[in-house]
């Protein structure tokens, strides 16, 4: 009998769900007496950790003790003792572990509890090279590139590491899915693609893009874009059609949602993407405008309320009442975004008057359109998804049809199971790799697998804030391969077949 032993797997079932509370506590003797103070509840940020102290992270299913480099010996010792007390007072099971984490050597499971995390020196060369389309032999200045990546994370779109090419090629057609108002029937309409075609939030859209990378790699991507106001039936129908098209064309499938599109999606619209809830303003429309270069400018409608504003961005407020468009400049918006907002909305609505407003100098009528002046995000620090090292998970369907997800530690290409679906978490994008031997049911439930994973993992991401990318075995793009320590394109062709293994076993038995 031949027994195949895989690397150790860590079940996600032991992880807290997305709804559980993670609490951070500081252990310090700076006052002369040891104190344990509550710092914050989820969402947590890396900046909350102080190198001069120790911290206890209670995840709801386990305890981490983070030790700062400048912490005193007493703090280090007492932090572990306090963690032991947590186990007793909170009545954790006897097998619950306390993980000691040293500053600068944080593990991936620890870092995922923080909504914002940046490793020192930006060690994420995979993300950098993919985002900037750099070859593996290209050199770069870490500090300079760090600033570029931060800019891309804020304004360039989500999933900046997913850049199969520069989006330079053209698209022929786009298919819109909407539901009839009277009976909810899903209608499907295919039209010629135009870069300035607005995407309406009550619908879903499917398009195919043929990419061509600098290294000569070519392939196709089927994008399915789902509007924020689209019905469940519209979303399901569009995704099912997109999945069938991707399988038929042996293409990548990328599922994205309004306001959370990957940067590559913006690039294929050549900087003209506008996503709105409705075709024309009924009362007021508020758009956030972001971009880093002309080819990734994008405008996305957000609720017309003052709480939607953010000091780090530029906005356009379209008023149906006054037939005026206000261009609002947040204090942290770049000059490029300010100019892009004015140019993008100069001809948005007939002969509407354009008025430019700086944050802090808003007229009363501006606030009247947004339900009055209220609280909004005044932070100039980006709260985008953490830049974590990619993690690989094995996905299986139980007999009841539910998805089971288990982590593969210290993974490499050999851990990709050709008979199943594998999930690769890259932060803003989640890859579902479908092996050639995966069943039709497994292939049809890749979105359910992603939902199951997102529900269990502890970050604040939701299924609507990440891009889901389906990759078929043998059609892996370079951006996927880069997340493995090494990649051999001929690996699966070089593996022995079932008949070869059977023959080897028979030969071995005959020798006994």
CATH number at residue 106: 3.40.20.10
Q: How distant is the alpha carbon of residue 19 from its chain centre?
A: 18
pLDDT value, residue 122: 41
pLDDT digits (tens, 9 = 90+) for 341-357: 999 998 888 788 999 99
Any domain includes 190:
no
Q: Which of 118-122, 125-129, 417-421, 426-430: highest mean pLDDT?
A: 417-421
pLDDT value, residue 111: 85
Res. 139: pLDDT tops 70? no
Any domain includes 292:
yes
How would residue 325 be classed by pLDDT, with cut points 50, 70 and 90?
Answer: very high
Res. 13: pLDDT tops 50? no
CA–CA–CA angle 350, 351, 354 (5° rounding): 115
Any domain includes 324:
yes
How would residue 420 be classed by pLDDT, with cut points 50, 70 and 90?
Answer: very high
Res. 246: pLDDT tops 60? yes
Average of per-residue pLDDT across 215-223: 89
pLDDT value, residue 306: 96
pLDDT value, residue 149: 62
pLDDT digits (tens, 9 = 90+) for 358-394: 999 999 999 999 999 999 998 876 655 556 678 899 9
Domain count, the chain: 3
Q: Using CA atoms, how far apart are residues 277 and 200, in angstroms rounded to an integer?
A: 5
Instruction: Kindly state whether residues 81 and 107 are assigned to the same domain.
Output: yes
Any domain includes 150:
yes
Instruction: Kindly state whether residues 28 and 98 are assigned to the same domain.
Output: yes
Q: Which has the minimum average pLDDT: 80-89, 374-383, 484-493?
A: 374-383
Any domain includes 317:
yes
Instruction: Kindly state whether residues 63 and 139 are assigned to the same domain.
Output: no
Instruction: Kindly state whether residues 371 and 291 are assigned to the same domain.
Output: yes
pLDDT digits (tens, 9 = 90+) for 93-130: 878 888 999 988 888 788 888 876 766 544 455 555 55
The answer to whether the beta carbons of residues 488 and 143 sit under 8 Å apart is no
Q: Tell which wins on pLDDT, 11 or 444.
A: 444
Instruction: Kindly state whether residues 84 and 143 are assigned to the same domain.
Output: no
Instruction: Kindly state whether residues 136 and 100 are assigned to the same domain.
Output: no
Q: Using CA atoms, how far apart are residues 355 and 349, in angstroms rounded to an integer?
A: 14
Res. 212: pLDDT tops 80? yes
Average of per-residue pLDDT across 399-428: 88
Instruction: Kindly state whether residues 93 and 130 are assigned to the same domain.
Output: no
Instruction: Kindly state whether residues 101 and 131 are assigned to the same domain.
Output: no
Any domain includes 172:
no
Domain range for 104 is: 23-112
How would residue 1 be classed by pLDDT, with cut points 50, 70 and 90?
Answer: very low
Look up residue 38 and give its DSSP letter: E
pLDDT value, residue 382: 61
Any domain includes 431:
no
Q: Tell which wins on pLDDT, 184 or 177.
A: 177
pLDDT value, residue 507: 72
The set of long-range contacts for 416-423, using a CB threshold of 8 Å and a minimum separation of 24, is: 416/473, 418/473, 418/492, 420/394, 420/395, 420/396, 421/395, 421/446, 421/449, 422/392, 422/393, 422/394, 422/395, 423/392, 423/393, 423/394, 423/395, 423/449, 423/450, 423/453
Any domain includes 132:
yes
Average of per-residue pLDDT across 159-168: 84
């Amino acid at each position: 009998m031949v027994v195949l032993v895989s690397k150790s797997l860590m079940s996600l079932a032991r992880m807290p769900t997305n709804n559980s509370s993670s609490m951070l506590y500081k252990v310090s003797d700076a006052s002369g007496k040891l104190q344990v103070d509550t710092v914050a509840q989820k969402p947590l940020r890396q900046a909350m950790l102080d190198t001069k102290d120790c911290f206890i992270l209670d995840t709801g299913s386990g305890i981490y003790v983070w030790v700062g480099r400048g912490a005193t010996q007493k703090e280090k010792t007492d932090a572990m003792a306090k963690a032991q007390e947590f186990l007793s007072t909170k009545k954790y099971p006897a097998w619950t572990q306390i993980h000691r984490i040293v500053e600068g050597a944080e593990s991936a499971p620890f870092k995922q509890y923080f909504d914002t995390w940046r490793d020192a020196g930006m060690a994420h060369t995979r993300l950098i090279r993919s985002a900037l389309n750099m070859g593996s032999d290209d050199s770069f200045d870490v500090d300079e590139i760090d600033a570029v990546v931060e800019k891309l994370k804020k304004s360039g779109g989500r999933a900046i590491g997913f850049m199969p090419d520069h989006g330079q090629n053209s698209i022929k057609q786009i298919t819109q899915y909407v539901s009839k108002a009277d009976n909810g029937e899903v209608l499907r309409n295919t039209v010629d693609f135009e870069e300035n075609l607005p995407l309406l939030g009550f619908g879903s859209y499917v398009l195919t893009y043929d990419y061509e990378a600098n290294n000569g790699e070519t392939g196709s991507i089927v994008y399915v874009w789902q509007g924020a106001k689209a019905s469940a039936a519209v979303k399901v129908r569009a995704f099912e059609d997109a999945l069938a098209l991707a399988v038929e064309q042996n293409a990548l499938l990328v599922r994205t949602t309004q306001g959370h599109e990957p940067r590559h999606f913006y690039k294929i619209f050549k900087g003209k993407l506008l996503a709105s809830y409705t075709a024309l303003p009924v009362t007021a429309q508020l758009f956030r405008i972001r971009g880093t270069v002309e080819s990734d400018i994008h405008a996305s409608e957000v609720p017309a309320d003052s709480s939607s504003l953010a000091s780090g961005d530029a906005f356009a407020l379209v008023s149906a009442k006054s037939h005026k468009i206000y261009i609002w400049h947040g204090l942290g918006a770049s000059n490029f975004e300010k100019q892009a907002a004015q140019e993008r909305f100069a001809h948005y609505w007939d002969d509407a008057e354009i008025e430019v407003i700086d944050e802090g100098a808003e007229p009363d009528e501006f606030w009247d359109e947004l339900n009055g002046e209220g609280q909004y995000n005044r932070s100039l620090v980006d709260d985008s998804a953490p830049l974590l090292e990619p993690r690989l998970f094995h996905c299986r369907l139980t007999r009841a049809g539910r998805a089971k997800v288990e982590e593969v530690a210290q993974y490499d290409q050999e851990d990709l199971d050709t008979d199943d679906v594998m999930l690769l978490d890259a932060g803003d994008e989640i890859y579902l790799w479908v092996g050639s031997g995966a069943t039709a049911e497994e292939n049809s439930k890749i979105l359910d697998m992603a939902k199951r994973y997102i529900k269990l993992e502890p970050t604040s991401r939701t299924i609507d804030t990440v891009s889901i990318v389906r990759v078929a075995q043998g059609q892996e793009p370079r951006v996927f391969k880069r997340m493995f320590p090494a990649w051999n394109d001929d690996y699966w062709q070089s593996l022995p077949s079932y008949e070869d293994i059977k023959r080897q076993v028979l030969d071995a038995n005959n020798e006994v």
